[in-house]
């Protein structure tokens, strides 16, 4: 049986999955699929700051360690996710007790402490996640408000200092096609590169949905153009959180439209030489974040609730 991993490896490509720490711990079927089908993994939640350091100075590395250990044992790349985000922050960061200088120092320590712990085992990092609003202005996070817009460049410099060999990414959604956010992200990456800020790549989350009724024109028509556009800046690009949710209940037409959308995403990435990896945000519908994250929607992944291959799997396999 030829897996996605085998096909990707033969072409020098990375195909990845987000990893649920709880599923990995308890579900041997999940472990098997993860190791045979993928050569890259991204901790879905385990490396978010609130999960690593809920109490200041008392890090809890166990869940992240378990994923990294699994990946190393199975020869998989780890995409670290994510160091600077407006969400999943510990309350000791958000409760307003820290001065600006303390906040800045805490962010630097968080980036560098996390990266140093995993240096040599986590080779790619989403350093900054979801920095933009839909209109292309910077998102009003605690980081923007307290540290100013320079927090982005600072984060990349601190990250590079901590692990000079890691590939450093900025990651976002709704930049996969011609949006104001895409324009703003493009300008930011261009400017950062011009200033010598160490940024190596741009991640496109690619959370996608099949509308009901199913539209004649399916999504992701512009993804490959977008990947090429950014690659033109001299950075790597990646599809980092691909999933294609459908309005529940799923039916054969929706599942077919979903499969075609997955095929497009895979063809878009694998057809661009600087698109170095494609990661799906969830291995199986059994544990998908969509069920709780987007009520009424689901069935977003390549494998069903019994870990069986869906038409989407077959389409991705065909592209590889």
Contacts of 243 (CB under 8 A, 6+ apart): 206, 207, 208, 280, 281, 282, 288, 290, 300, 301
The minimum distance between CB 244 and ligand XIL, in angstroms, equals 14
Q: Report whether 86 contacts 143 (CB < 8 A).
A: yes
Q: How many of the chain's residues bind ligand XIL (CB under 6 A)?
A: 7
What are the tokens at 122? 């986590």
Alpha-carbon span 4 to 114, nearest angstrom: 30
User: Which member of 158, 289, 297, 313 binds ligand XIL (CB under 6 A)?
Assistant: 289
**Residue 241 designated active-site:** yes
Query: How would you class 83 by CB atoms within 10 Å of its CB: exposed for 0-12, middle for 13-18, buried for 19 or more?
Result: buried
114 binds ligand XIL (CB under 6 A): no
Query: How would you class 140 by CB atoms within 10 Å of its CB: exposed for 0-12, middle for 13-18, buried for 19 or more?
Result: exposed
Q: Report whether 44 contacts 78 (CB < 8 A).
A: no
Single out the catalytic residue among 37, 102, 241, 260: 241
224 binds ligand XIL (CB under 6 A): no
Site string for ligand XIL, 234-253 (x = CB under 6 A): -------x------------
Alpha-carbon span 114 to 61, nearest angstrom: 9
Site string for ligand XIL, 41-80 (x = CB under 6 A): ---xx-----------------------------------
The minimum distance between CB 211 and ligand XIL, in angstroms, equals 19
User: Which member of 17, 40, 76, 129 binds ligand XIL (CB under 6 A)?
Assistant: 129
Among residues 89 and 320, whose Cβ is nearest to ligand XIL?
89
Instruction: Return the residues of window 18-47 that contact ligand XIL according to CB under 6 A.
Output: 44-45
Alpha-carbon span 312 to 260, nearest angstrom: 7
Catalytic residues: 241
Residues lying near ligand XIL in the complex (CB under 6 A): 44-45, 129, 205, 241, 289, 293
């Amino acid at each position: 049986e030829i897996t996605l991993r085998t096909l990707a490896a033969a072409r020098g490509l990375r195909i990845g999955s987000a990893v649920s720490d709880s599923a990995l711990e308890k579900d041997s079927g999940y472990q098997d699929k993860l190791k045979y089908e993928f050569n890259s993994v991204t901790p879905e939640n385990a490396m978010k700051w609130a999960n690593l350091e809920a109490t200041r100075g008392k890090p809890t590395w166990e869940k992240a360690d378990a994923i990294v250990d699994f990946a190393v044992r199975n020869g998989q790349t780890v995409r670290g996710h994510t160091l600077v985000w407006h969400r999943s922050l510990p309350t000791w960061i958000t409760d307003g007790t820290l001065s600006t200088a303390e906040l800045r120092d805490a962010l630097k320590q968080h980036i560098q402490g996390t990266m140093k712990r995993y240096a040599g085992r986590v080779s790619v990092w989403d350093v900054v996640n979801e920095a933009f609003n839909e209109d292309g202005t910077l998102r009003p996070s605690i980081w923007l408000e307290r540290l100013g817009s320079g927090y982005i460049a600072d984060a990349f410099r601190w990250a590079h200092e901590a692990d000079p060999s890691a590939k450093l990414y900025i990651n976002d959604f709704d930049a996969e096609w011609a949006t104001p956010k895409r324009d703003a992200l493009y300008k930011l990456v261009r400017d950062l590169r011009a200033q010598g800020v160490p940024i190596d790549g741009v991640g496109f989350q690619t959370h996608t949905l099949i509308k009901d009724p199913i539209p004649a024109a399916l999504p992701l028509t512009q993804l490959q153009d977008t990947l090429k556009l950014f690659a033109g800046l001299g950075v790597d690009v990646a599809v980092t959180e691909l999933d294609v949710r459908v309005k529940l209940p799923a039916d054969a037409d929706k599942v077919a439209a979903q499969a075609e959308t997955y095929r497009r995403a895979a063809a878009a990435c694998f057809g661009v030489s600087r698109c170095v990896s494609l990661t799906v945000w969830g291995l199986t519908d059994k544990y998908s974040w969509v069920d709780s994250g987007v009520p009424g929607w689901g069935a977003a992944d390549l494998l069903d609730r019994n870990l069986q291959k869906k038409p989407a799997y077959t389409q991705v396999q065909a592209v590889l």
